[in-house]
Chains A and B, each alone.
Chain A
Amino acid sequence: MAGPDEQRIFVASQWQLMWWRFRRHKVAVASGGVVIGFYLAVLGADFLAYADPNASEAQRSLMPPQPVYWFDGWRFSPHVYAVKGARDPQTFKRVYRADPGQKISIRFFAGGFEYRFLGLIPMTRHLIGVDGGLDAGKTIFVLGTDVQGRDLWSRLMYSTRISLTIGLFGVTVSLVLGVVLGGLSGFYGGIADTLIQRVIEILRSIPTIPLWMGLAAALPRDWSILQIYFAITIIISLLGWTELARVVRGRFLAMREEDFVVSARLVGCSQMRTIFVHMVPSFMSHIIAATTLALPAMIISETALSFLGLGLRPPAMSWGVLLQQAQNVQTVAISPWLMIPAVPVIIVVMAFNFLGDGLRDAADPYGR
């Protein structure tokens, strides 16, 4: 006889079943947290950044990351040491010396440059900052600075915003294309099916990087940064829909003859109602999983394109742009911290993959 647990399973809705299954995949849950964290950073990029990402200052060019000291004696009082820099006339490197006598306290929710939170609310508060706002004498650079003396942490925050939203936009376009074209292909079959499937095969047979490069190179070079941004999103998504379309088509084919679809049709449901009320919800979970898995690919493609100098260009900021600027000998030799933007790329891509993996398992709660 069924115990109370199994009783629970019998009456649970599909979403509940999925959630229970998903919770068992610990790494996926953790990854989900990471992904949510990243997207919160996207929303609050200006809040998390503590310096104007475009504010340059020669006197702090290529400053290494400053170590943060959390305690002053036994008292919790995060601070960094003031730093003095000068160019060594022998080596031509900029040399920075920390002065332990001069502490700069880090304040939480400190005032800083002006911005509009979520693009709406004017604010000057930032997560961290120093007393009396930021001036050239009192600064913190937790991840160091680039050649122009711009704060890498703040630039990274703004880059995260662009790199992660480009993924979202791209996936949305792919999703719409994939469901519509995949659905048409699977539901109607025949010529539509053949045509769409052949197009997919052709698109998939072309190696992606050269194809992106070709398309990106075809973008008019006199477009503004914003236009390039959208064009690149569209390019990436125009190639990204194929996989999803295949999945959707497969599900449609499988489900077309299922009892509940046949009954719906016999009862006299319209085609639209059959598709959207009966069929789509039953493979919604698959779409979500597929979407999650498509996101990292989008992020990687933007980063790769920008890294190759074909995607976004400065003064736009994205992970790829930051990495492209770190793509030189002197970065490796004297300022390795400029390669830090590779770290979030790795983390977010892995997190998305684990999350997608967990969701896919969960989407089929009865599977083994």
Chain B
Amino acid sequence: MTELRRPPRKRSLRSRLTVALAVGALSAVVVVAALAQSAGKSAFIGKLEGPEVVTDPAKLPRNLKEAPQLAALVKAGKLPPVAERIGQDPLVIKPLREIGTYGGTWRGGFTGPADFWNGYRCCSGPDHLLFWDYTGDKVTPNIARGYEMQDGGRTLVIHLRRGMKWSDGRPFTADDFVFWFEDIYRNKDLIPTPSAAMAINGKQGEIQKVDTYTVKFKFPEPYYLLPDVLAGSTPLGGHAQQGMNGMGGYAPAHYLKQFHPKYVGQAELDKKVKDAKFDSWVRQFLFKNDWALNPELPVLTPWKTATPSNTATWTLERNPYSVFVDTEGNQLPYIDRVVLTLAENLEVINLRAIAGEYDFQQRHLDLGKLPVFIENQQRGNYKLHLDPGDYGGDMIIKFNLSYEADPEIAKWMNTTDFRRALSLGIDRDQINETFWLGTGTPSSVVPADSNKYNPGPQYRKLWATLDVKKANEMLDKVGLSKKDGEGYRLRTDGKGRLRIEIMTLGGQFLQFTQIAEMIREQWKRIGIDLTVQEVERSLALKRTAANEQQLGAWNNDGSEHLFTFPLHVFPWEVAAVSTSGPLYARWFHSAGTQGKEPPVRMRELMEKFKKAYGVPEKERIELGKEVWKIAAEEVYIIGVIGMGPASMGVRVVKTNMGNIPSRQYNSPDGKTPTISRPVTFFYKK
């Protein structure tokens, strides 16, 4: 065998070695120079920047202008004039660098109807009532012109934009809120269980109309967090994102009434449902309210779906009634059309991006291919940017704390020192170098130091360093001192080796399975036998919901917005791809009537978390810090590597695209790149 393979090997090796040597010598110079400049900072990570929403009335543009093809339609009498379409209160965005020019098609890739967030993140505007500034920290007006808290946090008054229209030209008013609240949210068929976002301390709030352009969100107790909830990726996070679930906070009443039993006879509706081959009116209603699937749906977003996401190309075209304008009064977006082509395989998306076939692509790009992306920048006519996240875990490992199937394993997972020891047994530098190419930060679960809820720099490495000796001591001490012939720790119930299972998902932004394999090797040194089980998504959801998962690998992206995105901080979701304890989550959401009561420290964390919704920001920040302190001290979740660009942080942008920030706030709450306002992106002539 050796004989057969040797000759070809030698030849190719020599040439490769020569190249390697040449590259090595060259890079040695570069390395020294780069190291002298700044340790670890990469040229691909720029300065955090972005466009801003203009709210100062003195700076609002006087004359409104529009794209040439819309001007032609106005001339032909097919559209009302631009000023009439936008209304008196345009949503003015100051572009990052310059006023753009109209035209062009933005090409990108997506992986099918389940990849909703792909088109949603680029093209929704967003249509949240309120949204974040580009740092992801401050809430600013968006679709709402302004807001004020009244009544000691019990009432939030929202001012809408006068004369604003849906994409079919019908006015957008307070009635759309009332319709959503009365006929969708309160309809038991559409929304069987009321949402926690519309409640404070378990008490439901309501929406009231004040006048055509003013609505009130009223709650029985103070709900100071509500502006953040409206700005975040929550059930009140706008029509485009939440319509398909019957949530969102508002909905196009004039269009949806024809599918609602309250407004059409049941018999007529049944016939409609049957003719359209839906199972029930609820299915039909939710489909009709789906931003990505129903091109007829009136929307507020700057682009609207033209061919739906369940076809080979998901096309979005400019909304002639878009309320977004730039500081000179040009109606946004600048770019005419967005075309996302279907690629069922992530490798294909990456290849197309490398070949320069996409204008702006961030989702699905693989950090492992970074050298290839860099190498092909010139040939593909694009520039590569890295957008590291602010969250502590590009990869985390969750312990299922409410696990019951194996009492022995359950007992250990609920032993704090056991969890800490496992965390100390991970060699994060190895993992960072191998899978993050050194771009991440070994970290506990806490968010970046700059984050307002960060409890302090000492928590970054708390139980998140490699200390095999200490880990072994701790494991010996908790009662796992007996080992078998191969050095693995034995169960205390005499049933052999203590085997723990980790569930991973394949085909994700990160190669969780491979990383878990590496951790398995590392845990050998602390005598822990880890079995890696790669499962497919639906099975993962089934197993977590059935409380069968032991450990689960995932990320905690979004957790830097602790209160609007707490999915990966403590047991929150019942069916998740990776869970911290479905029974505890159930207990939390049912206010203790279902599920299982968590232990003291966890209850303390949950208590603080809950309390924070109803207190002013200053107090809330303190509570947030407390939550993170407990999370880091107790190691309910092991943080592995964080603040890296692994999930959606590798961005490829054509060199002729303008107003592109060199670094963006990367997070689900920012719907990155929406936080950079793609409506202001344009093609330079």
Query: Which residues of A are in contact with B by a Cβ distance under 8 Å?
Result: 34, 37-38, 41, 54-59, 61, 64-65, 67, 86-93, 95-98, 143, 147-149, 221-222, 309, 313-315, 327-330, 333-334, 343-344, 347
**Residues of A contacting B430 in the complex (Cβ-Cβ under 8 angstroms):** 56-58
Report the minimal beta-carbon distance from B77 to chain A, rounded to whole angstroms: 52
Centre residue among A34, A58, A347 by max chain B CB count within 10 A: A58
| Cβ 8 A contact of B1, one of A38, A56, A95, A222 | A38
Query: Which residues of B are in contact with A by a Cβ distance under 8 Å?
Result: 1, 4-5, 9-10, 13-14, 16-17, 20-21, 23-25, 27-28, 30-31, 34-35, 42-43, 347, 350-351, 354, 366, 368-372, 374-375, 429-435, 437-439, 506, 513-514, 517-518, 520-521, 532-536, 539, 543
Flag if A87 contacts B518 (CB, 8 Å). Answer: no
In angstroms, Cα B21 to Cα A98, docked, is: 8
**Residues of A contacting B4 in the complex (Cβ-Cβ under 8 angstroms):** 34, 347
**Residues of B contacting A334 in the complex (Cβ-Cβ under 8 angstroms):** 371-372
**What are the nearest 5 A-B pairs in CB distance?**
A58-B433, A97-B24, A58-B430, A93-B371, A58-B434
**Residues of B contacting A327 in the complex (Cβ-Cβ under 8 angstroms):** 347
Which residue of chain B lies nearest to A38 when distances are taken between CB atoms in the complex? Answer: B1
**Residues of B contacting A57 in the complex (Cβ-Cβ under 8 angstroms):** 430
Flag if A221 contacts B539 (CB, 8 Å). Answer: yes
Flag if B27 contacts A88 (CB, 8 Å). Answer: yes
**Residues of B contacting A328 in the complex (Cβ-Cβ under 8 angstroms):** 347, 350, 366, 368-369
**Residues of A contacting B23 in the complex (Cβ-Cβ under 8 angstroms):** 88, 93, 95
Report the minimal beta-carbon distance from A161 to chain B, rounded to whole angstroms: 13
The answer to whether A148 and B10 touch (CB under 8 A), given A89-B34, A90-B30, A90-B43, is: no
Flag if A92 contacts B437 (CB, 8 Å). Answer: yes
Which residue of chain A lies nearest to B432 when distances are taken between CB atoms in the complex? Answer: A58
The answer to whether A89 and B535 touch (CB under 8 A), given A34-B4, A97-B24, A344-B1, is: no
Flag if B374 contacts A91 (CB, 8 Å). Answer: yes
**Residues of A contacting B27 in the complex (Cβ-Cβ under 8 angstroms):** 88, 90-91, 95
Flag if B517 contacts A97 (CB, 8 Å). Answer: no
**Residues of B contacting A309 in the complex (Cβ-Cβ under 8 angstroms):** 506
Report the minimal beta-carbon distance from A31 to chain B, rounded to whole angstroms: 11
The answer to whether A88 and B31 touch (CB under 8 A), given A61-B434, A95-B20, A97-B21, is: yes
**Residues of A contacting B434 in the complex (Cβ-Cβ under 8 angstroms):** 56, 58, 61, 147-149
Report the minimal beta-carbon distance from A143 to chain B, rounded to whole angstroms: 8
Flag if A67 contacts B517 (CB, 8 Å). Answer: no
In angstroms, Cα B417 to Cα A356, docked, is: 61
Flag if A222 contacts B433 (CB, 8 Å). Answer: no
In angstroms, Cα B16 to Cα A58, docked, is: 21
| Cβ 8 A contact of A41, one of B1, B431, B432, B520 | B1
Q: List 20 A-B contacts (CB under 8 A).
A: A38-B1, A55-B521, A56-B434, A56-B521, A58-B433, A87-B437, A90-B43, A92-B437, A92-B438, A95-B27, A97-B21, A98-B21, A143-B9, A148-B514, A149-B434, A328-B368, A329-B351, A330-B369, A330-B371, A330-B372
Report the minimal beta-carbon distance from A106 to chain B, rounded to whole angstroms: 13
Flag if A65 contacts B9 (CB, 8 Å). Answer: yes
Report the minimal beta-carbon distance from B328 to chain A, rounded to whole angstroms: 39
Flag if B347 contacts A221 (CB, 8 Å). Answer: no
Flag if A61 contacts B433 (CB, 8 Å). Answer: yes
Flag if A54 contacts B521 (CB, 8 Å). Answer: yes
**Residues of A contacting B521 in the complex (Cβ-Cβ under 8 angstroms):** 54-56
Which residue of chain A lies nearest to B8 when distances are taken between CB atoms in the complex? Answer: A343
Which residue of chain A lies nearest to B41 when distances are taken between CB atoms in the complex? Answer: A89
**Residues of A contacting B543 in the complex (Cβ-Cβ under 8 angstroms):** 222
Flag if A59 contacts B16 (CB, 8 Å). Answer: no
The answer to whether A148 and B517 touch (CB under 8 A), given A34-B4, A96-B24, is: yes
The answer to whether A87 and B21 touch (CB under 8 A), given A56-B521, A92-B374, A347-B4, is: no
**Residues of B contacting A91 in the complex (Cβ-Cβ under 8 angstroms):** 27, 371, 374-375
Report the minimal beta-carbon distance from A44 to chain B, rounded to whole angstroms: 11
Centre residue among B5, B10, B42 by max chain A CB count within 10 A: B5
**Residues of B contacting A86 in the complex (Cβ-Cβ under 8 angstroms):** 31
Report the minimal beta-carbon distance from B24 to chain A, rounded to whole angstroms: 4
Report the minimal beta-carbon distance from B290 to chain A, rounded to whole angstroms: 29
Report the minimal beta-carbon distance from A114 to chain B, rounded to whole angstroms: 10
In angstroms, Cα B376 to Cα A330, docked, is: 12
Flag if B374 contacts A343 (CB, 8 Å). Answer: no
Centre residue among B43, B432, B534 by max chain A CB count within 10 A: B534
**Residues of A contacting B17 in the complex (Cβ-Cβ under 8 angstroms):** 64, 67, 98
Centre residue among A34, A41, A56 by max chain B CB count within 10 A: A56
Report the minimal beta-carbon distance from B649 to chain A, rounded to whole angstroms: 13
**Residues of A contacting B34 in the complex (Cβ-Cβ under 8 angstroms):** 89-90
Flag if B514 contacts A147 (CB, 8 Å). Answer: yes
In angstroms, Cα B28 to Cα A329, docked, is: 26
In angstroms, Cα B4 to Cα A177, docked, is: 36
**Residues of B contacting A65 in the complex (Cβ-Cβ under 8 angstroms):** 9, 13, 16
**Residues of B contacting A93 in the complex (Cβ-Cβ under 8 angstroms):** 23, 371
Flag if A330 contacts B16 (CB, 8 Å). Answer: no
In angstroms, Cα B372 to Cα A139, docked, is: 28
Flag if B372 contacts A59 (CB, 8 Å). Answer: no
In angstroms, Cα B430 to Cα A309, docked, is: 27
